[in-house]
Amino acid sequence: MPGGAKKDATRGLRLNKIIDRLNKKTPYGGVTVKELAEMHEVSTRQIYRDLNAIENGLHVPLVRKQNGRTMQVCLEAGYLPALSPEKATIVYLSMLQQKGSALSGHLNEIKDALIATLFRYHYDPRELAVEKLQKRIHFVEESLTGPEKVAALFATLVNSIRDSHRVKIWYFATWSGQQSERVVEPYGLICKHNNWYLVGRCLKKNDIRVFRVDQIQDVLAYATEHFLYPAGFSLAEFMASSWGVINDGKTCLVRLKFNRQVAHRVKNVLYHPSQKLETELPDGSAIVTFEACGLDEMIGWLSQWGDLVEVLEPRWLREKMRMLAEKMAQVYEKD
């Protein structure tokens, strides 16, 4: 019947508006039944029926708190961000970038929870279309051989950072090829090119150190050993001058000449916060400057450009690149 269909549509709209109101008010303790009744110009009895429909029909768990004669209602799951199908798709595709990284352990569970939440709000699955998009978008990234194990360690580190617990880590150092045991006060995590690093004070070295998470073999959280996060420490400031993830305290001015074939890249991409375009030369090449520390990490980046970039300053870095080029040439001269 047309009248019945219109009535059902009106009620369905009201249920969605009630859920939306509960979502917005849950962080502040919820909303009263009386407030919902006045908002929708229906009786409180009708609101109670609507709340039952939301719980039993739409499977959205609610928490009801009786305060005298007032009934306060909120979402059991807490605040749910208001996402359109388009935004939800972007969130999901962003998650896919972490596939094969330390964050990949629960990606499928998160995806399912995201889709389930959207369907509760009556979004059309054809509009979301995450499965279809997933098949037509491909990420070319390095991936860990054992992401599930690293994800479990990562979760322990995050909890220890949150609760300011010391951790014991078994760490494999690339430079020495050996594993060592360290007790660390974890200050925070940084991410570069989908690789995660732990920053914290190493009690063994009594200094701040950076540990690549996927090279941590195991983690033990000392739940009874708390530490005080240093009041004057800022993770962003600590990493501000670093070229990569290492802060060795030796900030240096670097001048590079980029061939005209790649000059447009350094005009469009900011590789470091200190990056400045110094000069554009008549032949189309460009001289770019950086002020950074941890320049040993820059050497690997420079080698990727091959003969398309030339180190002008500092002299010692220019010499290192020349020696590296000679070593590479010797490798390929062998027959």
Confidence of residue 321 (pLDDT cuts 50, 70, 90): very high
Look at residue 85 in the predicted model and tell me its pLDDT: 67
Confidence of residue 333 (pLDDT cuts 50, 70, 90): confident
Per-residue model confidence as pLDDT tens digits over 51-80: 998 888 877 889 999 888 888 999 887 666
With a CB cutoff of 8 Å and minimum separation 6, the contacts of 200 are 184, 185, 186, 187, 188, 208, 209, 211
User: Is the pLDDT assigned to residue 314 strictly greater than 70?
Assistant: yes
176: burial class by Cβ within 10 Å (0-12, 13-18, 19+)? exposed
- CATH topology classification for 252-333: Alpha-Beta Plaits (3.30.70)
CA distance linking residue 311 with residue 318, whole number of Å = 5
Which CATH number does 147-239 carry? 2.30.30
User: Is the pLDDT assigned to residue 305 strictly greater than 60?
Assistant: yes
Per-residue model confidence as pLDDT tens digits over 147-198: 888 888 998 999 999 999 999 999 998 888 899 999 999 999 998 887 899 9
Confidence of residue 1 (pLDDT cuts 50, 70, 90): very low
Domain 2-75 falls under CATH 2.60.40: no
Domain ranges of the chain: 2-75, 85-136, 147-239, 252-333
* 310 or 15: which leads in pLDDT: 310
Confidence of residue 238 (pLDDT cuts 50, 70, 90): very high
Per-residue model confidence as pLDDT tens digits over 14-65: 888 898 888 888 888 889 999 999 999 999 999 999 999 888 887 788 999 9
Look at residue 90 in the predicted model and tell me its pLDDT: 76
Strands of the sheet with 31-32, listed across from one edge: 31-32, 70-75, 62-67
Look at residue 121 in the predicted model and tell me its pLDDT: 53
Overall size of the chain counted in residues: 335
Look at residue 93 in the predicted model and tell me its pLDDT: 75
Look at residue 9 in the predicted model and tell me its pLDDT: 59
Q: What's the CA angle centered on 236, arms 230 and 240, to 5 degrees?
A: 120
Residue 187 Cα to chain centre, angstroms: 17
Which range has the worst mean pLDDT, 50-64, 272-286, 307-321? 50-64
Q: Is 335 helix (H, G, I), strand (E, B) or coil?
A: coil
Look at residue 195 in the predicted model and tell me its pLDDT: 86
183: burial class by Cβ within 10 Å (0-12, 13-18, 19+)? middle
User: Is the pLDDT assigned to residue 265 strictly greater than 80?
Assistant: yes
Greatest pairwise CA separation for the chain in angstroms: 90
Per-residue model confidence as pLDDT tens digits over 105-155: 777 677 766 666 655 555 555 555 666 666 777 777 777 888 888 888 998
Per-residue model confidence as pLDDT tens digits over 199-224: 999 999 999 999 999 999 999 999 89
